[in-house]
Amino acid sequence: MTIHTRTLLETNTITMKQEFTLEIHSDNNFSVLNRIVNILNRRRIRIKKLVAHEVEGDFRMGVAVLLLFTTADMMEKVKHQLEKLIEVEYAIYYPGSDLYCELSAKHNEQVV
Amino acid sequence: MDALLTKTKTAVGAEAQPKQKITGSEVLLRSLVEEGADIIFGYPGGAIMPVYDALYHYADRLTHILVRHEQGAIHAAQGFARVSGKAGVVFATSGPGATNLVTGLADALIDSTPLVCITGQVFAHLLGTDAFQETDVVNTTIPVTKWNIQVTEAKDIAPAVARAFYIANTGRPGPVLVDITKNAQNEMIEEAEYNKCESIRTYKPKPVLQPAQVDAAAELINNAKRPYILAGQGVLLSEASKELIAFSEKTGIPVASTLLGLGAFPTDHPNYVGFLGMHGNYGPNLNTNECDVLIAVGMRFDDRVTGNVSKYAKQAKVVHLEIDKAEINKIIKADVAIHADAKEGLAALTAKCKANQHADWFASFKKLNDEEYEKVTRKEFFPASEKLTMAEVIHHLSNFTKGEAVVVTDVGQHQMTTSRYYQYKDPRTNVTSGGAGTMGFALPAAMGAKMGAPGKQVVAVIGDGGYQMTVQELGTIMQYKIPVKIIVLNNNFLGMVRQWQQLFHEKRYSFTEMQNPDFVMLAQAYSIPARKVEAREDLQGALKEMLDAETPFFLEVVVGKEDNVFPMVPAGAGVADVLLEAPKI
């Protein structure tokens, strides 16, 4: 159960733009990356970095890691919109860029 | 048309030999039959000719309606889906055939209408070469479909169609598109048993109801003094009207409806308080900002409902029962979110909520709606002017049909007037273009609705502007003798835009006046009986003649040029700022 307090929305931490690392696990079909980017574009979310690849050992699955610049409120909304995509298994995000470096390095190692 | 609808279906494969080789086109048609799709709205062209060639041999199992424009096909399929609850099926060719579907796809996506659209595509080896009538349909339609896919091999057609129907019909319904290259349509493969799709690893359409969410909502509702239910189309889509009535009756909570929710709760039920939104009823809008618990069921807080969100129900605790998780907290923060199907969620809430009554709260709605009747409705039903009003036409239509017809509206003043005054009684009787606001929707949607509910009286109510956007579908109505009734409320203006120009742009009527053709002659050119009414004494007789006709019938009603729709929540204003009349300038 989630009980939200609406006043929370109005705090700076929610409305202030900052970096977020977004990790998306999905099927690796044609156009999946396009579908993901479409949702971010529609919300006019700035994509600072992006790495996407097949999962090693199973080309039918894929991972995308993105470094985004937006608000916490927007991140929560687009997470659910991304998870509405039929091919997306889940999307998870973290504040800051540290995890982007870690995740993109980890995923890069997988494809080497 | 009856003959078309009563064709006997032949069992699939009954006459076929095992391991027989068939074309990809035939695989497609067999898949459609297996999915129970018996009516297809379509238009042939080069890249889908193999499918149409196979269709020639499936006339005993699939009824194809040849429309006059692909946009007509998709709106017809929408009308069919909205009244029948089954996915509408559309065929179109590549390039412009497919791009002509885009408006309907966008409309169906925002209004949660299940569609399966099949488009032909150029040969796979020509993809990306700018071949004749090649358009990148998949990438063009990603933003306006729930899902889409391109198929380049015959073996992938049946699984794609199975997945398409599953996705279109489950969860929050929506349009899907399957783009099939011509080589896949021609390719011969061994016939195989058809397997319906029952799950997709990454897609979970039915959320699991969380009892803790229901308990939290019930606690709020049980302690509320002025609780208020907003019913959206989700109630209709989950077939939860009975559960909504039971919930409202047990808890004694008033129910208001969104535009697409009309029909989910009977308008003659004592707990029904009216229609929400920019041109909704006075009480339902004002009392949104007076309630203490707002219970939104299967609705998405469209801006036409909320007005300015910063002034929307700030005093209330919000309970949001919604199947689409992305809609929860998207516009209005929920104090308690119930992520569930409306039918299941309402039943659970009813069990947990105590029996109650809120007589004073109901009385406040009645007082406000009485005020609206005196200041707005009475003048529209019984105008001093000789000119007919849209409201009196709809008032008589509602009385003559006892609120039981399927009413299909387009977009604009006539749509808002119909939504205000038609007394909808039953689910799936209101068909309109809500979220997208697509002018040109109603005429083709009405013919699809008639195909989907052949036993129902189907009446299209359209403005003179929107009517001319898809008027070519009179040809389809003529050819298939679809007995749909068409009312054009003609004010020789793009009325809603004109209203805004009058109220907010100092009466600068910039390109909204229309010189119209002789609509009666136009209908008669398509062999459709037609009549025009200008005088009040002729209106009721003309409506009766139209409703009694066993054929299609066209009725033009000339209404006042400068009539406005009120109440109105002006753009940017809060719901409590709803106006009963034009502000004095």
Q: How high is the ipTM of this complex?
A: 0.91
- Please give the residue that has the higher pLDDT: either A79 or A112: A79
Whether B182 is catalytic is: yes
Whether B479 is catalytic is: no
B interface test, pick of A55, A86, A89 with most B CB neighbours within 10 Å: A86
> Tell me, what's the pLDDT at B9?
42
> Tell me, what's the pLDDT at A4?
46
Tell me the two tokens of residue A59. Answer: 């080309």
B interface test, pick of A1, A42, A79, A88 with most B CB neighbours within 10 Å: A1
Same domain, yes or no: B328 and B434: no
> Tell me, what's the pLDDT at B368?
97
Place of tokens 């039920």: B269
Tell me the two tokens of residue A108. Answer: 């890069």
Q: What is the pLDDT of residues B409-436, one digit of tens each?
A: 999 999 999 999 999 999 999 999 999 9
**Contacts for B537 with CB less than 8 Å, ≥ 6 apart:** none
Q: CA-to-CA distance for B412 and B495, rounded, in angstroms? A: 7
Torsion of the alpha carbons at B326, B328, B330 and B333, rounded to the nearest 10: -160
Place of tokens 């969860």: B171
Same domain, yes or no: B154 and B301: no
Looking at beta carbons, which residues of chain B come within 8 Å of A38? 142-143
> Tell me, what's the pLDDT at A23?
97
**Element (H or E) spanning B532, and its range?**
strand B530-533
B510 assigned to some structural domain? yes
B195 assigned to some structural domain? no
Binary contact (A86, B146; C-beta < 8 A): yes
- Please give the residue that has the higher pLDDT: either B499 or A102: B499
Whether B553 is catalytic is: no
Out of A4, A27, A38, closest to residue B329 by CB: A4
Residue B159 contacts A where some CB pair is shorter than 8 Å: no
**Contacts for B258 with CB less than 8 Å, ≥ 6 apart:** B230, B231, B232, B233, B276, B277, B299, B302, B305, B434
How sure is the predictor about A1, in pLDDT bands with cuts at 50, 70 and 90? very low
Answer yes or no: are the C-beta atoms of B356 and B251 closer than 8 Å: yes
> Tell me, what's the pLDDT at B14?
52
Looking at beta carbons, which residues of chain A come within 8 Å of B334? 4
> Tell me, what's the pLDDT at B327?
98
Q: Which of B160, B190, B220 is the last residue of a domain?
A: B190
Binary contact (A30, B213; C-beta < 8 A): no
Residue B81 has pLDDT above 80, yes or no: yes
What distance in Å separates residue B476's CA from the closest CA in chain A? 35
How sure is the predictor about A15, in pLDDT bands with cuts at 50, 70 and 90? confident
Same domain, yes or no: B306 and B446: no
Looking at beta carbons, which residues of chain B come within 8 Å of A34? 139, 142
- Please give the residue that has the higher pLDDT: either B414 or B14: B414
Closest chain B residue to A34 measured between Cα atoms? B139
Residue B378 has pLDDT above 50, yes or no: yes
Q: CA-to-CA distance for B236 and B261, rounded, in angstroms? A: 7
> Tell me, what's the pLDDT at A105?
78
Same domain, yes or no: B80 and B171: yes
DSSP string, B273-310: EEE-STTS-HHHHHGGGT-SEEEEES----HHHHBSGG
Same domain, yes or no: B541 and B409: yes
Strands B39-42 and B63-66: parallel
> Tell me, what's the pLDDT at B582?
86
Could you list the residue range(s) of the whole structural domain that residue B284 is in?
A: 211-364
Tell me the two tokens of residue B292. Answer: 């203490």
Comparing B18-22, B455-459, B508-512, the range with the smallest average pLDDT is B18-22
B202 assigned to some structural domain? no
B198 assigned to some structural domain? no
Out of A38, A81, A89, closest to residue B202 by CB: A89
Same domain, yes or no: B165 and B224: no
Tell me the two tokens of residue B280. Answer: 């909704």
How sure is the predictor about B517, in pLDDT bands with cuts at 50, 70 and 90? very high
Same domain, yes or no: B417 and B322: no
Q: What is the pLDDT of residues B303-348, one digit of tens each?
A: 999 999 999 999 999 999 999 999 999 999 999 999 999 999 999 9
Answer yes or no: are the C-beta atoms of B231 and B253 closer than 8 Å: no
Q: What is the pLDDT of residues B439-495, one digit of tens each?
A: 999 999 999 999 999 999 999 999 999 999 999 999 999 999 999 999 999 999 999
Residue B7 has pLDDT above 70, yes or no: no
Say how many C-beta atoms besides its own lie within 10 A of residue B323's C-beta: 26
Q: CA-to-CA distance for B408 and B399, rounded, in angstroms? A: 16
> Tell me, what's the pLDDT at B465?
98
Residue B180 has pLDDT above 60, yes or no: yes
Q: Read off the pLDDT of each residue in B93-115 and give the average, rounded to a whole number.
A: 98
**Element (H or E) spanning B393, and its range?**
helix B390-401
Q: Buried b vs exposed e over B327-357: b needs ≥16 C-beta within 10 Å? A: bbbbbbbbbbbbbbbbbbbbbbbbebbeeee
**CATH number of the domain enclosing B161:** 3.40.50.970
Rounded to the nearest integer, the mean pLDDT of chain B is: 96
Answer yes or no: are the C-beta atoms of B222 and B353 closer than 8 Å: yes
Residue A44 contacts B where some CB pair is shorter than 8 Å: no
B153 assigned to some structural domain? yes
Answer yes or no: are the C-beta atoms of B332 and B306 closer than 8 Å: yes
**CATH number of the domain enclosing B286:** 3.40.50.1220
Closest chain A residue to B136 measured between Cα atoms? A31
> Tell me, what's the pLDDT at A12?
57
Same domain, yes or no: B550 and B438: yes
Closest chain A residue to B315 measured between Cα atoms? A6
AA letter at B186: N
Q: Read off the pLDDT of each residue in B531-539 and give the average, rounded to a whole number.
A: 98
Q: CA-to-CA distance for B73 and B440, rounded, in angstroms? A: 12
Coil, strand, or helix at residue A5?
coil
Q: Read off the pLDDT of each residue in A14-35 and give the average, rounded to a whole number.
A: 93
Whether B133 is catalytic is: yes
Out of A4, A9, A87, closest to residue B202 by CB: A87
B369 assigned to some structural domain? no
Answer yes or no: are the C-beta atoms of B312 and B335 closer than 8 Å: no
Ordered by start, the domain boundaries in chain A are 13-111
Same domain, yes or no: B248 and B302: yes
Q: CA-to-CA distance for A104 and B152, rounded, in angstroms? A: 33
Looking at beta carbons, which residues of chain B come within 8 Å of A2? 213, 337
Looking at beta carbons, which residues of chain B come within 8 Å of A37? none
Binary contact (A1, B212; C-beta < 8 A): yes
Whether B496 is catalytic is: yes
Q: Which CATH number fits domain A13-111: 3.40.47.10, 3.40.630.190, 3.30.70.260, 1.20.1330.10?
A: 3.30.70.260
Binary contact (A4, B335; C-beta < 8 A): yes
Percent of chain B with pLDDT over 70: 97
Q: Which of B124, B158, B190 is the last residue of a domain?
A: B190
B204 assigned to some structural domain? no
How sure is the predictor about B584, in pLDDT bands with cuts at 50, 70 and 90? confident
> Tell me, what's the pLDDT at B387?
96
Q: Which of B139, B160, B190 is the last residue of a domain?
A: B190
Q: Count of domains in chain B?
A: 3
Q: Read off the pLDDT of each residue in B190-212 and give the average, rounded to a whole number.
A: 97
Query: Which of B303, B380, B382 is CA-nearest to residue B580?
Result: B380
Residues, chain B = 585
What distance in Å separates residue A72's CA from the closest CA in chain B? 13
Same domain, yes or no: B216 and B265: yes
AA letter at B67: V
B88 assigned to some structural domain? yes
Comparing A97-106, B103-112, B275-284, B564-573, the range with the smallest average pLDDT is A97-106
> Tell me, what's the pLDDT at B1?
55
Answer yes or no: are the C-beta atoms of B388 and B441 closer than 8 Å: no
What distance in Å separates residue B576's CA from the closest CA in chain A? 20
Q: Read off the pLDDT of each residue in B554-581 and give the average, rounded to a whole number.
A: 94
Residue B493 contacts A where some CB pair is shorter than 8 Å: no
Residue B405 has pLDDT above 90, yes or no: yes
AA letter at B345: G
Out of A31, A76, A86, closest to residue B139 by CB: A31
DSSP E strand stretches across chain A: 18-27, 46-55, 58-70, 88-95
